[in-house]
Chains A and B, each alone.
Chain A
Amino acid sequence: MDVFLQLIITGIMVGSIYALVALGWTLIYKSSGVLNLAMGELTLTGAYVSLTFYEWGIPFPLALLLTLVIGLILGLIVERVFLRPLIGESVLTVIMVTVGLSFFMRGLLGFIFGTDTMVFSPPVFPSEPVRFGNIVLGQVYIWSFIAALVLLVVFVAFFKYTRWGLAMQATADDEMAALSIGISAKFVYALAWAIAFMAAGVGGALLGNINGVNVSVGYLGLLVLPAVVMGGLNSVPGAIVGGLIVGLLQNLAGGYLENLTLAGVTLIPGGAKDVFPYVVMTIALLVKPYGLFGWARIERV
């Protein structure tokens, strides 16, 4: 039981980081209909940028803030150069441009930083764990959870209550109507990409604190895809719930399924942790093709 609780809590805490990244993904999709496969590389970029700032001796909270600023700038540039010419192109074209972007960014990051795992040194968070009863938690997880939660609240509040956030919602709902009441679609797209870069950047910085920074942070960032698919592509609460689900699935699979033996036969030797979210997603798609909170789309000839 303790193990179970431990896994659940760790899962939720890691899941909150995924939820943050997934939120950025959903914002792009909602406002501009772009399905972004470069999310993993955006996460990786954030991890490396914050690490670089931290190594320059800037305190971590400030480094995180600077990561947000860099994310904003990069988001605006990427949207303007690569994505805007593609408005109205087919799904596959847009997706493949983001794939091209992901290759380019991964190559560039590898070119600059190399492949060795880099860690935040000295460690940002104290390494001795915190105990709640029988449950042991690393402080990294707790602080990441808090940071992710704060940013989630900020982004959701921004989306719900500010003028720009409302403009984004309007564009997501009906682009034509939004244009006709004077909302600039270009501005909204740029904003969505900027926010996605910012969210992914912070997510990357937090994940980098947990595992160290190397290419695998990018693969973790890719886990937002099952998250958003399970949550429903165009739903903000869906993205958050989906992120949490992926975190949970990952930890539970890692805890229970790996090295599972039945009557002396090893059923699952290992690697279940990374694959399980995809397995569940594939099955979930067969049952509920539009996710938990997504809108069913009716198609006509």
Chain B
Amino acid sequence: MSAMRLPSGVYHETYAQDHAWWQTRFVWVRMITLFVLLFVIVPQFAGGYGLSVANRIGYTILGALGVQLLIGFAGQVTLGHMAFVAIGSYTSALFTLRINEAFPVLGQMGVTYPLSMIVAMFAAGLWCVLFGLPSARVKGFYLIMTTMAAQFITVDFVITHYISQIGGREISFSLPPGTIKFGPWAIRTDLEAYYLMLILVIACIIFIGNLMRTRIGRAWIAIRDNDIAADVLGVNVVRYKLLAFFVAGALAGIAGSYWNSTLFAVSPEHFSFSESLWLVGVVLIGGIGSNYGTIFGAMYLTLIAELIQPVLQFILPDLALKTAYIRDMVFGLSIIVFLLLEPKGLAYRWQRIKDYIHLWPFSY
């Protein structure tokens, strides 16, 4: 939580008030409305397609949270985050399938999938630390290159050529319906995946938001702003950098294992280099260093990508076959335009709108 700007006339008298997540009655009303909207109204009125788009947005948020943590909060870079999402996804899928085979009881009780999520968190986190290790010695462009290497080594090599061969199922692992069970609830439809997504996204955002208010978060911000100065102040730079990579990888693990619940089969092409760059684009368009930024960026890019097809169908039906290329072009142009014209991202716009409302009608 960055410094919150309060509307005029609101004063805090205790630290508890100062630290509160939701500080004014208006924010309480707004957030509760939002939750009601998300949990009750959206599932009522969004059809199957709407829910699948919502799930994609949630997945993008989960994946981009890790990127946001590394780029926006800890000042590191990652251009290969899909590698860690892939590790999460594959770990979770393999773990679930194998344990269900070995101990069918656990599968019926619905313990395996939640358990696999935790295993996936650790696997992806540790894998991420492995590629974060060079950050102890290099930064800037060189670090970008090692994270890119992570993408190619993990997805194009290890997963395609080794992990996919396990069990002789060729390229993908199929997840029969009913495999993914969360306690007594089997996650089969988009609606069930939607609720799981909401819970995971909210939990992760609360986790990150609170983490940033602790010693760890402050250390990360110090490293981001000036790592040498942070070192002088007594922050163990290498340790905190690696911790940042671990947490970012763990978030990617959650994203990956969540995405399994919406898939029928896991395969390497879900985790391509373009998808990794897409996540960085989400963070940059949304705004660096803000959780709102992650959410806005994910919504913006996913909705744009989903809207291109129907809009094209409507305006220029001849071009509808080439949607994929147009999507690439729009994504590229979006990034360029945002970086040139609004480098602080959508979150900054949002902040400006809030300021305007707070100060209205005397905005000077």
A residues apposed to B, CB below 8 Å = 35, 82, 85-86, 89, 91-93, 95-97, 99-108, 110-111, 225-226, 229, 233, 268-272, 274-275, 278-279, 281-282, 285-286, 289, 299-301
Chain B residues positioned under 8 Å from A285 (CB to CB): 134, 137-138, 142, 145-146
Q: How far is the CA of A29 from the CA of B334 in the complex (A)?
A: 24
Chain B residues positioned under 8 Å from A92 (CB to CB): 71, 77, 284
Show 15 A/B contacts (Cβ-Cβ < 8 Å), sorted by A.
Answer: A82-B340, A85-B340, A96-B281, A100-B335, A103-B277, A103-B328, A107-B325, A107-B330, A107-B331, A268-B161, A269-B165, A274-B152, A281-B146, A300-B228, A301-B226
Say yes or no: B149 contacts A282, CB within 8 Å.
yes
In this complex, how many residues of chain B approach chain A with their Cβ under 8 Å: the count is: 50
Say yes or no: B228 contacts A274, CB within 8 Å.
no
Decide yes or no whether B364 CB sits under 8 A from chain A: no
Chain A residues positioned under 8 Å from B142 (CB to CB): 229, 285, 289
Task: Point out which of B138, B146, B322, B329 has the most chain A C-beta atoms below 10 A from its C-beta.
Answer: B329
Known: A93-B339, A100-B281, A279-B149. 9 other contacts (CB 8 A): A82-B340, A96-B280, A96-B281, A106-B325, A106-B332, A285-B138, A285-B142, A285-B146, A286-B137
Distance to closest chain B CB from A194 (angstroms): 20
Of B153, B326, B335, the residue contacting A111 (CB under 8 A) is B326
Known contacts being A93-B343, A102-B332, is A107 close to B138, with CB within 8 Å? Answer: no
Chain A residues positioned under 8 Å from B229 (CB to CB): 301
Say yes or no: A226 contacts B325, CB within 8 Å.
no
Task: Point out which of B79, B325, B331, B332 has the most chain A C-beta atoms below 10 A from its C-beta.
Answer: B332
Q: How far is the CA of A85 from the CA of B337 in the complex (A)?
A: 11
Decide yes or no whether B115 CB sits under 8 A from chain A: no
Decide yes or no whether B106 CB sits under 8 A from chain A: no
Say yes or no: A96 contacts B138, CB within 8 Å.
no
Q: How far is the CA of A275 from the CA of B250 in the complex (A)?
A: 25
B residues apposed to A, CB below 8 Å = 71, 77, 79, 131, 133-134, 137-138, 140-142, 144-146, 148-149, 152-153, 156-157, 160-162, 165, 226, 228-229, 232, 274, 277, 280-281, 284, 322, 324-336, 339-340, 343
The 9 closest A-B pairs by CB, nearest first: A107-B328, A104-B332, A103-B332, A100-B335, A107-B329, A110-B325, A278-B149, A100-B336, A111-B325
Chain A residues positioned under 8 Å from B322 (CB to CB): 110-111
Of A89, A99, A275, A299, the residue contacting B335 (CB under 8 A) is A99
Q: How far is the CA of A213 from the CA of B326 in the complex (A)?
A: 20
Say yes or no: B339 contacts A86, CB within 8 Å.
yes
Q: How far is the CA of A111 from the CA of B320 in the complex (A)?
A: 11
Say yes or no: A278 contacts B148, CB within 8 Å.
yes
Say yes or no: B331 contacts A301, CB within 8 Å.
no
Q: How far is the CA of A101 from the CA of B343 in the complex (A)?
A: 16
The prevalent SS among residues of A at the interface is helix
Distance to closest chain A CB from B310 (angstroms): 19
Q: Which residue of B lies closest to A219 (CB)?
A: B273
Say yes or no: B145 contacts A100, CB within 8 Å.
no
Distance to closest chain B CB from A260 (angstroms): 12
Q: How far is the CA of A151 from the CA of B141 in the complex (A)?
A: 28
Chain A residues positioned under 8 Å from B141 (CB to CB): 35, 91, 95, 229, 233
Q: How far is the CA of A197 from the CA of B327 in the complex (A)?
A: 24
Distance to closest chain B CB from A108 (angstroms): 6
Distance to closest chain A CB from B81 (angstroms): 14
Say yes or no: A91 contacts B140, CB within 8 Å.
yes
Say yes or no: A106 contacts B328, CB within 8 Å.
yes
Q: How far is the CA of A82 from the CA of B148 in the complex (A)?
A: 23
Distance to closest chain B CB from A176 (angstroms): 21
Say yes or no: A104 contacts B329, CB within 8 Å.
yes
Distance to closest chain A CB from B296 (angstroms): 17
Chain B residues positioned under 8 Å from A272 (CB to CB): 157
Of B133, B226, B331, the residue contacting A103 (CB under 8 A) is B331
Q: Which residue of B lies closest to A95 (CB)?
A: B144
Say yes or no: A282 contacts B134, CB within 8 Å.
yes
Say yes or no: B146 contacts A282, CB within 8 Å.
yes
Q: Which residue of A lies closest to B165 (CB)?
A: A269
Q: Which residue of B lies closest to A275 (CB)?
A: B157
Chain A residues positioned under 8 Å from B284 (CB to CB): 92-93, 96
Chain B residues positioned under 8 Å from A86 (CB to CB): 339-340
Of A108, A225, A278, the residue contacting B325 (CB under 8 A) is A108
Chain A residues positioned under 8 Å from B274 (CB to CB): 103
Distance to closest chain B CB from A193 (angstroms): 15
Say yes or no: A225 contacts B148, CB within 8 Å.
yes
Q: How far is the CA of A226 from the CA of B145 in the complex (A)?
A: 8
Q: Which residue of B lies closest to A270 (CB)?
A: B161
Say yes or no: B153 contacts A278, CB within 8 Å.
yes
Say yes or no: A108 contacts B329, CB within 8 Å.
yes
Say yes or no: B137 contacts A281, CB within 8 Å.
no
Known contacts being A86-B340, A282-B134, is A271 close to B145, with CB within 8 Å? Answer: no
Of B133, B228, B232, the residue contacting A299 (CB under 8 A) is B228
Distance to closest chain B CB from A95 (angstroms): 7
Distance to closest chain B CB from A44 (angstroms): 13
Distance to closest chain A CB from B36 (angstroms): 37
Q: How far is the CA of A275 from the CA of B335 in the complex (A)?
A: 28
